[in-house]
Amino acid sequence: MKFYFLTLIALVSFSLVSCNDDNNGNEETDGVYLPDVIVNKSLEEGYDGIATLYFRYDKQNRLTYIIQAMGEATAEEGDTIRFNYDSQGRLSYVVSADTAKFTYDGNKVFCISPSEDGFYRDTLELGSKGELLKLYNAEVVYTYGYDAKGNMDKYTVKDINGNVIHTTTLTYDDKNGLFKNIKTPSWFFIREQAFPLCFINNTLQEVNDSVADIFTLKYNDAGYPTSVEVSGSSKFLLTIDYLTIK
């Protein structure tokens, strides 16, 4: 499991449509909550790194920028991921140190990004609600399953010969998800392996081949997490401040 949100490379539910097509019974009585600042502190022994993430949005609640500042650095000194959308509202480019380009054909998304050997291509297969069903690259195939609320509850990784490399299962709370109201597609975050924090509800446990990571959360009065402590193969603490749109 990755130290989520610590580096722009490892970073970075939404569905291809709205994330707040919410059927979990959590009503938005106090407005729409969007993450504003997330501080990620490592709890790993011998490593006390801190990363601060600043989130920026357009009027459709889609991400436009994520700024990452390490240690004592300010937002102005941080590194930036920029999100661009096409005329149909689809994610078209994500620009950081490199540029990832996304093109579309029916229920498939093709991602082209630079690699040491030139360019790297992933093929993503989407379901009827925009959920990611499969991801293919030159080495492995990922297959994803979801619960009735739209949270990813299982994914399997196989090699190109169909042999299972590992299987991961996830369980969730019944509160409002940290990124529930962001209108950027979930497949981007799943591809970048930031997905345990990116659905309608919040992850409580992630089990990868019998090795478990446990997520301990505290919530505000509206049922959104204000802190997430992860213990297991990874150890870190997130603290979250929100923007509220009435």
What does residue 20 show for φ and ψ, rounded to 5 degrees? -95, 30
Q: Do 111 and 121 meet the contact criterion of CB atoms below 8 Å apart?
A: yes
How far apart (Å, rounded) are the C-alpha atoms in residues 120 and 188?
A: 15
Tell me what pLDDT residue 53 has: 92
Tell me what pLDDT residue 58 has: 96
Tell me what pLDDT residue 198 has: 77
Tell me what pLDDT residue 15 has: 30
pTM (predicted TM-score): 0.84
Tell me what pLDDT residue 7 has: 39
How far apart (Å, rounded) are the C-alpha atoms in residues 119 and 168?
A: 29
Q: Do 155 and 143 meet the contact criterion of CB atoms below 8 Å apart?
A: yes
Tell me what pLDDT residue 28 has: 54
Tell me what pLDDT residue 6 has: 39
Ranges of the chain whose pLDDT falls below 70: 1-30, 116, 193-196
How far apart (Å, rounded) are the C-alpha atoms in residues 246 and 231?
A: 35
Ordered DSSP codes for 111-145: EEEEETTEEEEEEEEE-TTS-EEEEE-SSEEEEEE
Domains of the chain in start order, with CATH, are 32-245 (2.40.160)
Tell me what pLDDT residue 65 has: 93
